[in-house]
Structure 1
C-alpha cells in the first residue's frame, strides 16, 4: 500500500505529466489547426491550394512563373536602373520607384469592366489584384534595394461581395517581396521620404496614371519636396519584357495554340449568310473553352470589301457567298497574348482573283519569316515587305512594270499602309517604348503580318480585284537557330483552308 506521502508525490508527478501531455496535445492541435488554416487560406488570386488545375506548383505565383522568377525580374530591373543612373550622374541620391496596380473601371453604376492588371506591375510582382502598389527603394550608394508591396486593406464587407484579398502579412511569403503594408499606409510611406531624405529621385510614370490613390500620393510628394527629380521607370521594364523567359515562351505558345485551334474551328463552321457577329462569338467561345481568359483585343471580323478597312471592328454585317472573311483575333492566356490573322472564302473556295492576291501575300510572308533569321530591325522587315509585295504584284501582273525597286515599294505601300510587325508579349502591341529600329534578338516575339487592301477607288488595279482585302499574320519567336512560328497550328495555305470547309 502507498503511504500518504508517496500518494501525494505520485499525484503531484501524475498531475505534472498530465499537464505536460495536455500542453503537448494542445501544441500539436495548434500546429495542425495552423496547417489546416494555411491549407485553407485564400488569397486574392489563384494559388496551388485553391486552384491546382491552374497553379501546378507551390512555388508558382502565376501559372508557370515562380516566386524566384518574379524576384529575379525585380533584381534585374533595379540593376538596369542603377546602371542608367551611374552613367548619367555621380551625384548620391536615394531612389524611390513607384509602380501602381491598375484600378477597377466601371461601365456604369456598380457594373465593372473585366479587370486587367497594369502590365508593368504584373510583370514585377505577379499580383493580379487591383488598387495595390509596388515601391522599390534604393540607397544613396546604389548598393542595396528593398521592395514593399502595398495591398488592399482588410474589408470583410467588401470581401463578402467581391471575394478574398491578399493581406499584407501574407504578401511577403507569397510574392517574395521584402515587406508589405496596407495600401492605406502608402501616403505616409511616401511622405516620410520628404522629412529626412533630402536628395530623392522619384521614378514614376507621371504622364500615364493608372490609379488615382497612388497618383495623388505621388503628386503631393512632388509638390511638397523641394529637392527631387521625377522620371518614368517604364522603359527599363520594357527592356526586360522584350526578352521572354522559358516560362513566358511556354505561356505564349499555349496562347497561340488556343487561338490557332479556335480560328481553325471558326473557319470550319462559317458559311454564307452568317453575320460577322456570329463569327466573333464563335472565336470568342472557342478560345475561352480552351482555357483563355478572354480575347486579347476587339477582333476584326470583316466580310467582303469591309476587309479593306484595316481596323474594322463593327462586326455587324452579313457575309455573302463568294466573299472573303478577314479575321484578326487573338486571346490572352494567363497574362500573355496571341495575335493572328487569317483570311478565307466564306463558301470554302477561293475565286481566281482572290487566290492570286492571297498567294502574293502568302509568298511574301514566307520570305519575311525566313528573313527574321538574319535578325533585322522591324523597320528593315517593313521595307522588305514593301519590296516583296511590289515584286510579287508585278510578277502576278496585278500592277504594271515599275522602273525601280523604289517605285515597287511605293506601289506596295499604297496597298498595305500599315507596318508589318510589332513586339508581342503581355500586351498585344508590347513594349511600345522599344524602338522598331533595333535588331531583333533571340528571346523576342514579334508578329509578321503583310497585307493587301484593294479599295473600290483604286485606279491602278483591275476592277475585278476591287474589294479584296487580305492579311496573313503569325506570331514568331526569334531563336539562335532561326524563327519559330508559334501560331503554326493555324492553317494558312490555300489547300489547308479549303479543306477545312469540305
Structure 2
C-alpha cells in the first residue's frame, strides 16, 4: 500500500533492490567510528501558504539509506542497533487528508529496519542511545527539534561530540552502483527526449514560458516524477543571467535561447543545457561564439577519465576560453581577470540524487569509474559589459552529463544535438503539424 506500482519484487524503491539498501547501511556503519551514532531526519514539509504544502521531496541522504519517501521520520544508525527508525503515527484525520502513512510495521517489513518505534517515543529511547555513544553525527540540512532539543543531544553538541554526517554519506553516494547508473541513464534519456521536442516546438512557439511548460510536460509524460530544478529558459539577453528563472518573455526573432533542464526519476537527477536560435539559423556572430563553447565542451569531455579531477578540467577550460575570447576580440587585456566577469562558474559538478551532488567531495578529488559529472562551458556577456557591442547581452552554455568509466567516459546526454548544422537542419526540416500528428499515432 506504500509501494510504487513501478517496483519489482525485492525492491524498496523502483530500480533499487532491498539488498542494495542493506549494503548501503552496512557500508555507512563501516565508515562510522566505533561507538558512534548517526541521526538523519526526513526532509520537512515546506508550506506554500497556511494550509497548502509545496510538493514534498525527500532528503537525498535519508532516501539513500532508508528508501522511505515520506516526511516525519527519524533514522538512527549504530553499531549496536543497526537501523532504528522512528516513524510517524497515522491518525484518522491524517489519513483522510493525506492518505495512508507508513508506520512502525512498514519500517520493519518494507524498509527492513532492525528496530522501529513511533516517533512519539523518540524522546524516551534516543537519549539513552546518545548517552552510550562517544560521538554523534547528524544531517544538518534536515536537523529537527524532535531530536536537537533533547538535553542529551545539546550536551553532546556543547562538548564538541556532534559532527556533520555528510562527510560519510557523500562518500557513499559519490560512486554510483550499476542500479543507480541505470536510473541515471534513463533520467538523462528522458531529459534529452524532452529537450529535443521542446527545441522543435520553439520555432512555432518562441516564448520562454511555453518552452518551460513544454519541457516539463515532455519529462512527466515519459515517466519523470518532477523536474530536477526550475528550468532555465533565457531568450536573448536573459540567457546571460546564469540562473535566470522568470521564464516569462517572448523570444525575439533572431535571438538565441538557452535552456538548462533536468528531471528526476525515482530519486536520480539529470542536467543538460543547449543553446539555439528558434528561428532556425545562427548568425555569423552567434555561430562564432557558439563554436568556441562547443569546442571547449568537446575538449573538456576528452579529459574526463579516471584520475582526472573537475578542478584540472576546469583550469583547462579557462585556458581554452580565455584564448578563444581574445582571438574573437571580446577580451583584449587582463583576459584572465575579465574572463571571470563573463563566467564565474565551474566547468561542472557532481550529479546524482541531487543536481549539485555530494558537495563534501572536493573538486580536486581524482575521478573514479562510476562517478557522474557535468561538463558545461559557457559565456555570459551582460548588456553592460565593456566590450564589442555585437556580443553584449549574449549567453551561451552547452552542458552534458558524463559518466566516468574504466577506460575513459560515456556521455549520457550524447543523443541531444549540439552541432550547429544538426540543430539548424532539425529546426528547418521539422513540421510542427506533422510532429503533432506523429505524436497521436
Considering the TM-score relative to the shorter chain, is it more than 0.5?
A: yes
Q: Does the residue aligned with 1:175 lie in a helix, a strand or coil?
A: coil
Give the one of 419, 422, 429 matched to 1:493. 419
* 1:103–1:210 contact (8 Å) kept in structure 2: no
Distance 1:357 1:99, change over 3 A: same
TM-score by length of 1: 0.81
Over alpha carbons, which structure has the higher Rg? 1
Q: Which segment drifts farther, 490-499 or 410-419? A: 410-419
CA distance in structure 2 between the partners assigned to 1:377 and 1:66 by the alignment: 31
Name the CA distance, whole Å, in 2 between partners of 1:99 and 1:237.
10
Shift of 1:305: 1.0
Matched, 1:131 2:72: yes
Residues 181-201 of structure 1 deviation map (CA, whole Å, 9 limit, x = unaligned): 11111111112336xx45532
3-state secondary structure, aligned to 1:239: helix
State how far apart, in whole Å, the 2-side matches of 1:273 and 1:442 are: 41
CA distance in 2 between partners of 1:459 and 1:103 (Å):
46
Instruction: Give per-residue Cα distances to partners, 1:226-253, cap 9 Å, x unaligned.
Output: 9882122121000010000001101111
Distance 2:287 2:207 in 1: 23
Q: Is the alpha carbon distance of 1:188 and 1:272 closer, same or farther for their aligned partners in structure 2, counting shifts above 3 Å?
A: same
- Looking at structure 2, the residues matched to 379 and 163 of structure 1 have their Cα atoms a distance apart, in angstroms, of 47
Distance 1:199 1:296 in 2: 37
> Which residue in the other structure is 1:185 paired with?
121
Counterpart of 2:394? 468
Query: Structure 1 segments of 4 or more deviating over 6 A?
Result: 225-228
Contact 1:255/1:333, CA 8 A, preserved across alignment:
yes
Say which SS state the counterpart of residue 326 (structure 1) adopts.
Answer: strand
Give the root-mean-square deviation of aligned CA atoms: 2.0
User: What SS does the corresponding residue of 1:202 show, helix, strand or coil?
Assistant: strand
Distance in 2, Cα, partners of 1:479 & 1:411: 35
Q: Is the 8 Å Cα contact of residues 390 and 411 (structure 1) preserved in structure 2?
A: no
| 1:443 maps to 2:370 | yes
Is 1:67 the equivalent of 2:18?
A: yes
Whether contact under 8 Å (1:383, 1:409) holds in the other structure is no
Report the CA distance shift for 1:332/1:210 in structure 2 as closer, same or farther (over 3 A): farther
Flag the 1:64–1:272 CA change in 2: closer, same or farther, 3 A: closer
Contact 1:96 1:136 in 2 (8 A): yes
Per-residue Cα deviation, 1:254-294 (whole angstroms, up to 9, x for no partner): 11111111011001011377321111111111111111111
1:211 deviates by 3.5
Higher RCO structure, 1 or 2 (CA under 8 Å, sep 6+):
2
CA apart distance, 1:479? 0.6
CA distance in 1, matches of 2:60, 2:378: 29
Query: What are the equivalent positions in structure 2 for 1:260-409 lying under 5 Å apart?
Result: 260-271=192-203, 274-373=206-305, 375-396=307-328, 398-400=330-332, 409=336
Pick the aligned partner of 2:38 from 92, 97, 112.
97
Q: Is the 8 A contact 1:209 1:215 kept in 2?
A: no
Q: Could you tell me the TM-score, scaled by structure 2's length?
A: 0.92
Q: Is the 8 A contact 2:42 2:142 kept in 1?
A: no
